[in-house]
Amino acid sequence: MPTLDDVRRIAAGLPGSEERETTGGAAWFVRGKLYAWECHPWPSIPDDMRAIIAAEPVVGVKVAERLDALALVEMEPDVFLRATTSWGEPKVAFRMAAIAGDHLAELVTEAWRVQAPKYLRRAFDEAGSAS
């Protein structure tokens, strides 16, 4: 089962990424823009989602389009949670206990891409093609 340390390791390999501690837990930013975060069972979250988040580690990530989030939830409802809050769309939250390691890396990297400026995405792509 992947852990927050796996998220940290993935995020550490992304240009311009930084981790910050927030009221809700760990969060990852690129150039001041949030792209991944540890979910916290805030009272504003619907009861069923709050129960899951209180019981196990859940991470949220930005996605490019709202339809991307809806597709993930529909394809893997045991992994991805329906919308936890109405603000900050588009995003999706997933249960760490149910996510595959390679899918975790893809989700965190794609969330970073959504928020990263073009020059950082280009540097990342160029570094990847050089390996």
Here the CATH number for the domain that contains residue 74 is 3.90.1150.30
Confidence of residue 75 (pLDDT cuts 50, 70, 90): very high
Does the pLDDT at position 113 exceed 70? yes
Confirm whether 125 is domain-assigned: no
pLDDT at 86: 64
Mean pLDDT over each residue of the chain, to the nearest integer = 92
Angle at 32 (CA atoms; ends 96, 42), nearest 5 degrees: 45
| Cα 128 from chain centre | 21
Would you give the DSSP letter of residue 39?
Answer: -
Confirm whether 92 is domain-assigned: yes
- Number of structural domains (the chain) is 1
The burial of 111, by beta-carbon neighbours within 10 Å (0-12 exposed, 13-18 middle, 19 or more buried), is given as buried
